[in-house]
Every structure is written in structure tokens, then in C-alpha cells.
Structure 1
């Protein structure tokens, strides 16, 4: 790809759905493959405990700058042949503003491994997607990805004003800090995460390449704010509409619903592309742009290209759990696939797109049967305690725990543990008491119902290459050369 910007950016989906296999498949075809940066420390630990099928994690760890750290990770987590089916995964500590050294090293290494594997075997750029709201792991995660040569950092679900400065600092392995959003914070409070790479990786390394930074936005105001107030260079924008999968920005103004209970978005929620073009940065349109016609429309409106998620989520190369993938493809073939916006599911309070599957938490009986527990903690909210210290709570944790931390009981209604569900979505569910496995909750965009355009009668599924080939139908050769 050289310095050419991609026409297609593959979405960074879920926790591990867009893993290194999918990103590598997309990037090797000349477009931008993107891995999800969510919970990579937990995912790598569980892959090792499952025996590291194919040896991919251990292969990547052989290239990690510190072989001492790599050896400790393998010694702690790798189980030859995989853990027993009736054994739970060993826990990984939750992140905090002052996490232990072992967790930080695991996080650095996990992000390195995912990017290393996504880049292996080709010379094209690879990106990684983070959620701004998952703030505590940001610094070691980004550093680990940069160690492996990541070329694009994508970030949504928040206002990442301080990420450009972090990227600049890490080029020379310098220390960085990141402000933490804290409910109830007062003037004079200084809640932040800090990270000095040299404290955890005590070796001399050459300077790193600064990746391009593409924040994910849903409004012109946010684009302008990032350009004016970010503490470093912003390289472009991904403009995500409300039909995209995962977390959606809430509508501006009062939240209203249609007859089917779906959130209503209006003209105030649409991005003014003319004003966006005037900013002079490249941008990609996302949310329902997974067709040749919509790609052509995006290019005609001045976009550099599109970001596409849902069509890639069901490809052969995605790591979505096979039973769920087959069921969703069956629904698509039969015309019964449904995606609904759940405004209460996410502990973050953001609307969350969910595919309707009877064996997932969209089944009320399955949701209600699950015992509330918070042991991964990525979506916890920081809050200021009565003594002025920082603590964390989650609206999906046990109600009495949430209330004891000053939470409002109304905020717990309908909340689902997305952390455990998203990890279960890729076949790594934690085993609970009485042999219960954590249930899934599959997120997809509204475009799920149109996935049939990629299916052929003689194949059960389809590949990432099939998606790319179809999307580029009719695109001028010089645009993708």
C-alpha cells in the first residue's frame, strides 16, 4: 500500500472477533485490516491456557523484544494440550491506575502479539481499534501495538484528545499519561493513568514509527474539537452512523423510540459532509456502507473510502464463535435475521446493537439466569469516593455492590456484562459454578440482514477476499492501485 490511503477499512469488532487472522486477510489484499484492541491480555492468556492451537501466540512471543518477559508469560499461562474442559480459566487481574507489573507486561505483550501476527507474511499496513471509554489499559496497550509496528490507531466511544500526545511520546519510548474520566470529580482532582515503558521493558530499543491516528466520530462538533484541542496530530476521521454495530453514540437531544422500540435518530445526528470536507483531512464513512453502491456514494461525497464491519464479522477468517456464526448465516439465508438497539445492555450507557439469537442473552431467560459478577472490569466507571480517592463500579455488577459504591439502582436495570459476553462470543467463555458457561451477546450492525449478497449457493460461508472483491466492483482501478 505504501503511502496510499485505504479505500476499505475493516472494522475493529467486539473482543477478538476482528482478530489477527481477519486483519491479516484484509491487509494482505491491499486494504486496511484492523484488530480489536479490547481485552487482548485476557484473550491471549486464555488462548495459551487452551493450548495455543497452531502455536501462533508462542511464535509471536519469540519475536517480543524481551524474551525474559515472554518466558514468564508462557510459564504462567501456557497449558500443553489445553486446560481440562471442566476447569475454569485462571483469572487475569483487573486494570487499575496502579496495576501490578505482571499485568502491564501481559498487556504490552498481548497487543504486540496481535499486531505481529496480523502483519506477518505481507508488507501492508495494519491497524488496531480501541474504545476510549476503556481507559485504564490504553497506555501499555498502545505501546505494545507500536512495538509490533502498528500503522493505524482507531479510537471511538469517547473524546480521545490526549491520544496523539501519547503516540508522540512512545516514538522514543518516553513516559506518557492519560486523564481518567471520573464521576463526581472536583476542581483540583488529578486522576490519571501513567506509564513509563522503561519501567517494564528495561532494554535499549530503536525509535518506533508513529502510527496514523483516526478517531471515530459521529458529529462535526467532535471533529472540529479534535482538530483544535488534541495534543498532537490527527490524521483523519472515521464517521460512524447509528446503523453500525457495537456501541453507538446516543442521539442528540431527548432519546425517543419508534413503534418497534428502536432509538430514533434525526437530522441533528447526521454529519454535514460539506463541513467535514472543509477540514481538509481524509475521512471514511461507516455504518451501512458495505455495498459497492454505498462505497461509490461515499467516494462521490469526498470520502477517502468506507469502514465496513458487519460483512467482515461473518467471514471465514473472523473469530466469532462457530455455532453463532453458522446460526446467523442461516438466519440471513432464510430472511429471519434481526438486529435491535438495546439502550440498557451496555454498562457505559451508550446504545448497543445486538443480533437476536435464542441461545444468547437476548433470550430473557438466559439473561436472568446468569449470576451477576464483575471479574474482567474493562467497562467499569471511575468515581470519586467520599474520601476523595478513585474507585470503580459497574452497573452490571451485583446490585448490592453497585449500590454500596453510590450507584443508582435504576442504572442496573437491563444491564448486561458485556466484558464476559464479548469474550464468550469468540469461544472463550469463563466456566462458572455448577458448570455454567458465560453466555454470549453478539453485536452486529443493521447491515446483517443484507449479508446474503456475499453468499453463494455452493458455499456455507464466504471469505474476507469475497467481501473486498464485491465492494470494489466498479471502483476505478487507479483508486485502489
Structure 2
């Protein structure tokens, strides 16, 4: 049986695969359009997207909004497929980026790193843009459904449920990252159960997308068997020809082993998963990387007390300056062995899915601690 399609608010992708948004500058129009052309949903990451604009340091908001518009237009020039953007709630220019994306008629806005409680009010009611929160618990799904219904008389068009094996910033406490109670295999059935009453009441499907540690076609089958409608994958798409990052960034994934993956304490106050390198060794040894912050890009960042600038560290890595860069990566990055075209990756995922015909049972479910939702 081939992979099923994925429908989000009337938009239909041939394959149920969403390419995760990866910043700074790792997933832009090049990667997003290639994924869309291959039948998935491509996603442009927005943090620091204006880094190539001449006024990036003098007019941060305008530079990023302008760059986002350029990237959306460039992606649309290359594909007729579905293109989304990932806009983090904690960005200080969150509202500006949302409005720019909507004005450019982006297909989907994915939004996490905080609950996007007010996202609908930033989007014109006549807009066709779909709104998809990224969450890490069934409780968050329930809160958003209730808030959006009461305030805006609408529901999310889908949910991306990101587990603790994801790369980059993680929506979990450090002690929960290896706790089976917070595993994605537990989260997916809980979120599916929570959204079901809202679906029934509204007569509208709310797809649940599994994210964080999804690596193979077998993983895709596993989560679809649990009730997910699709998956989001980030790490696999870094090691592709079309990924927008420097070749040295991609090679870091190929060279990584399991021991090199580590959890870091980010300046924004969240744990993050990254590939250990010279930069992280220096930070761990107490080095403070000198920097100035002409823009306060993330609301929760204590930049005055931070040993380094998270935005500049991510950007340096994206540019290939690995000695001065932070490389975020998922828990399965060590399994990456080569860099391939996006089309080849998508084909291999389909083949793996078809070969993994035996359904994988979810972890034994105890009585869910999450109370049932009542719209």
C-alpha cells in the first residue's frame, strides 16, 4: 500500500510528509520548493531570515519581513506545490512576519515555541492561509481549540505534535527528554483523542502530524497506525542537495555519531539538541563569545547575560563557519550517511513505508492523565 495523501484545510499534498522549518537560513525557498515538487509540504523558516538584507542590523523588522516576502515569491516561482512558513511565537517580530506571509498568500503558517493564542487575529478572515500550531502536549491542543473557538469561532487546521527527539529548541524540561511518559508514541494517541470531540462538533477534520525523531518510512507507518495523518521531518532534509545551508553544515550531519549529539542550554532558556563541535566545547569550558545585539530577536533571550548569541551562532553554522557555529540536529542525525537529492529521499521513504507492512503497536496506554475535551 503506497503512502496516503495529506489534507490540511482543503489543501492536499500527495505525500503525508512535511519538511520541518529550520533556521537560521537552513530551509528557505530552495529546499521548500524541492519538497513541494516531490509531493510533500515545503516549509520556509523565518528566524533571522533577513540576514542577507543590507539593513538587517539597522532595521531588523523591515529586513526580515522583506526577506520573507522574497523567499515566498521565489518558492512559488519554482513550484505549484504547497509551501508553508514556520513562525515562532517567541519572535519579537512575530506579528510582522505573520502579516507579511498572509499578504503573500502563503499556504500554511506553522507556529510553535509558545502557544499561538492570538494567531487568528493577525490573519484576515477572508485569507485562505491555513493555521497549524506546533505543540508538545494534548493539554496544549485542548487549550488552543477552546481559545480559538471562543475568541475567533475557528479551530486550528491541523496540529504538529513535536516530541523530545526533535532537533533544535525543545518544548520539554531537560529531565523529560528521555522519559517514556513524554515519548512521541504516547503524545500522538493523546492528541488524537483530545481533538476528536472538536472534530465531531465542527464536522471538520483536524489532522495530527507527528514530529521529532521521525526518520524512516517505517517510522511514518508507525505514527500513521497510531492515528496521525502525517509526519514532519527536519534532519533528513538537511542532508539533501537542495537544502539551503552550506555544504559544511550538511557534512556535519554525515560525520556525526551518536556520542556527538548533546543537549545544550540555549540563551533563550530552553534545552536544545545539537551536534557537539569546537564551538560548544568552548562554551562548555566557560568561554564567552563577544557579541553585540542590535536586535532583540527572541522575547525570552537574556542576551546581556548570555555566553553567545544564539542567532549569530546558528547563522555562522548555516554559512559553514563550524568553529563559530551551533548545529541543531535531531536525535537520529547520526544515522545520516550521505547527501542525496530531495526526490531520491522522498522515493526511498515511500519504498521503506511499503516494505514495513507489519503495523507497529503503540506503547501500552494507561488511563490518560489528560481529561477528555468538551467543546
TM-score by length of 1: 0.63
Paired residue for 2:343? 465
1:235 aligns to what SS in structure 2?
Answer: coil
Cα pair 1:8 1:31 within 8 Å, conserved? yes
Q: Work out the CA distance in 2 between the residues paired with 1:274 and 1:327.
A: 36
Measured against aligned partners, the alpha-carbon deviations of 1:338-372 in whole angstroms (never above 9, x if no partner) come to 21111x2x2221111111123x3344488715214
Cα pair 1:420 1:438 within 8 Å, conserved? no
Alignment of 1:19-38 (within 5 A): 19-38=28-47
Cα pair 1:242 1:265 within 8 Å, conserved? no
Paired residue for 1:375? 294
Cα pair 1:347 1:380 within 8 Å, conserved? no
Q: Work out the CA distance in 2 between the residues paired with 1:364 and 1:340.
A: 13
Paired residue for 2:109? 153
Cα pair 1:247 1:351 within 8 Å, conserved? yes
Q: Work out the CA distance in 2 between the residues paired with 1:373 and 1:366.
A: 21
Q: Work out the CA distance in 2 between the residues paired with 1:336 and 1:256.
A: 19
Gaps in structure 2 of 5+ consecutive residues: 200-205, 355-375
Q: Work out the CA distance in 1 between the residues paired with 2:192 and 2:83.
A: 29
Q: Work out the CA distance in 2 between the residues paired with 1:376 and 1:366.
A: 27
Paired residue for 2:172? 250
Closer/same/farther in 2, CA of residues 266 and 336 from structure 1, 3 Å limit: closer
Instruction: Give the alignment's Cα RMSD to 1 decimal.
Output: 2.6
Paired residue for 1:139? 95
Cα pair 1:376 1:419 within 8 Å, conserved? no
Alignment counterpart, residue 324 of structure 2, candidates 429, 436, 439: 439
Paired residue for 1:109? 66
Displacement, 1:117?
A: 0.9
Q: Work out the CA distance in 2 between the residues paired with 1:133 and 1:319.
A: 24
TM-score by length of 2: 0.80
Paired residue for 1:50? none
Alignment of 1:315-354 (within 5 A): 315-329=240-254, 331-332=255-256, 335=257, 338-342=260-264, 344=265, 346-354=266-274
Measured against aligned partners, the alpha-carbon deviations of 1:160-207 in whole angstroms (never above 9, x if no partner) come to 0110121126x5xxxxxxxxxxxxxxxxxxxxxxxxxxxxxxxxxxxx
Structure 1 runs (4+) deviating above 4 angstroms are none
Q: Work out the CA distance in 1 between the residues paired with 2:20 and 2:102.
A: 19
Displacement, 1:16?
A: 0.9
Measured against aligned partners, the alpha-carbon deviations of 1:125-184 in whole angstroms (never above 9, x if no partner) come to 1000011111x3122212222232210000111010110121126x5xxxxxxxxxxxxx
Paired residue for 2:234? 309
1:361 aligns to what SS in structure 2?
Answer: helix
Displacement, 1:311?
A: 0.8
Alignment of 1:178-193 (within 5 A): none
Are 2:303 and 1:396 equivalent residues in the alignment?
A: yes
Paired positions, count: 330
Q: Work out the CA distance in 2 between the residues paired with 1:320 and 1:310.
A: 12
Measured against aligned partners, the alpha-carbon deviations of 1:268-327 in whole angstroms (never above 9, x if no partner) come to 564225524524310110011120111011111121110000010121211223223224
Q: Work out the CA distance in 2 between the residues paired with 1:94 and 1:131.
A: 19
Q: Work out the CA distance in 1 between the residues paired with 2:84 and 2:327.
A: 23
1:306 aligns to what SS in structure 2?
Answer: strand
Q: Work out the CA distance in 1 between the residues paired with 2:71 and 2:250.
A: 22
Cα pair 2:290 2:308 within 8 Å, conserved? no
Displacement, 1:94?
A: 6.2
Q: Work out the CA distance in 1 between the residues paired with 2:179 and 2:164.
A: 8
Gaps in structure 1 of 5+ consecutive residues: 46-76, 78-89, 96-102, 172-208, 258-262, 382-393, 400-411, 430-436, 456-460, 477-481
Closer/same/farther in 2, CA of residues 364 and 140 from structure 1, 3 Å limit: closer
Q: Work out the CA distance in 2 between the residues paired with 1:289 and 1:123.
A: 26
Paired residue for 1:4? 12
Cα pair 1:288 1:447 within 8 Å, conserved? yes
Paired residue for 2:122? 166
